[in-house]
Amino acid sequence: MAITLVDPAGLPAVDAYRQVSVATGSKLVFVAGQVAWDGDGATVGEGDLAAQVEQCYLNVGTALAGVGASFSDVAKLTVHVVDWSPEKMPLLMEGIGRAAARLGTVPVPPATLIGCAALDVPEHLVEVEATAVID
Q: Which residues sit opposite 6 in a β-bridge?
A: 20
Q: How confident is the model at residue 82 (pLDDT cuts 50, 70, 90)?
A: very high
Q: In the 8-state DSSP scheme, what is residue 88?
A: G
Q: 7-25: per-residue pLDDT in tens?
A: 999 998 888 889 999 989 8
User: What residue ranges do the domains of the chain occupy?
Assistant: 1-132
Please report, to the nearest 10 degrees, the dihedral formed by the alpha carbons of residues 46, 84, 104, 121 taken in order.
40
Please name the residues in contact with 114: beta carbons below 8 A apart, sequence gap of 6 or more.
78, 79, 80, 81, 84
What is the fold of 1-132? 60s Ribosomal Protein L30; Chain: A; (3.30.1330)
Q: Give Cα separations from 63 to 11, 21, 36, 135 (angstroms).
A: 31, 20, 13, 17
